[in-house]
Homo-oligomer: A and B are copies of this chain.
Amino acid sequence: MSTVDNAPRTESPRSKRAVIIATAIDRFGEEGFEHTKWATIADDVGIGQTALYHYFESKVHCLLTIMRLELSNSVERFKAATSAADDPAAALTAAVASAYEASPRDALQRRILQNHMDLLATKRPSKKEEEERLLCRSLVQEIEHNWTGLVQKGIDDGTFRVDDALLSARMLLALVVGVWRWYRPGGEMTLEQITEVMAEAAARLVDSAEVPARA
């Protein structure tokens, strides 16, 4: 699911919101949030700073929105991937695979999310920023809850031979998102190769009775 799809459906066709978000993802992802000047986004999009402020009141507001959209996509991807799985081992493989369904821009967006999770820890001074922050926090909890539920099912039916579903879910999430630190499109490994290796690693991590075989 692309970021653009996640923009509100009520937007005017002339809205620049989607293009601002895509531009910000490219800049924040490739050059870093701290390094990117807010005015540069306006220049890239070809609008003035005043017009930019119509969509986002600050660079942080835009960043939090990018993070919220990615978290929301992550929840949807997980649901879509795991709903069709017959058993916990298949659900784990599907959930891991869904994390790596990513365009190059999605990969940047996921790296941005991982690199700015500390923003979610403290109250924001502005109302719009704070709204996005609270949405992000509740989505983070939902993701942790969903992965914990998946692991718990595997523990309950004896497939996953670990004790603590929440801790195992946190480990799985750390493992899965850690890839965005080093993955680069066109790099040594393709996302297909990463998916395969990570699905196997995830199964080992929960001591699964069914570790997927490598191709």
| A7 on interface, CB distance cutoff 8 Å | no
Tell me what chain A mostly uses at the interface: helix, strand, loop, or mixed: helix
| A201 on interface, CB distance cutoff 8 Å | yes
Contact with B along A70-91 (1 / 0, CB 8 A): 0000000000000000000000
| A121 on interface, CB distance cutoff 8 Å | yes
How many copies of the shown chain assemble into the complex? 2
Contact with B along A169-194 (1 / 0, CB 8 A): 01101110111011000000100000
Q: State how many angstroms separate the Cβ of A197 from the closest Cβ of chain B.
A: 6
Which of B118, B175, B182 is the one whose CB lies under 8 Å from A33?
Answer: B118
Q: Which of A45-53, A95-103, A109-117 forms contacts with chain B?
A: A109-117
Contact with B along A5-16 (1 / 0, CB 8 A): 000000000000
| A164 on interface, CB distance cutoff 8 Å | yes
Residues of chain B contacted by A167 (CB below 8 angstroms):
189, 197
Is the Cβ of A119 less than 8 Å from the Cβ of B173? no
Given contacts A170-B178, A171-B175, A178-B178, contact A197 B164 (CB under 8 A): yes
- 17 A-B pairs in the complex with CB atoms less than 8 angstroms apart: A32-B119, A35-B122, A111-B118, A115-B115, A115-B117, A115-B118, A116-B118, A171-B175, A171-B198, A173-B178, A174-B175, A174-B178, A174-B179, A175-B178, A175-B205, A204-B205, A204-B207
Given contacts A164-B197, A207-B204, contact A31 B173 (CB under 8 A): no
Residues of chain B contacted by A174 (CB below 8 angstroms):
174-175, 177-179, 181
Instruction: List which A145-185 residues lie within 8 A (CB) of chain B.
Output: 164, 167, 170-171, 173-175, 177-179, 181-182
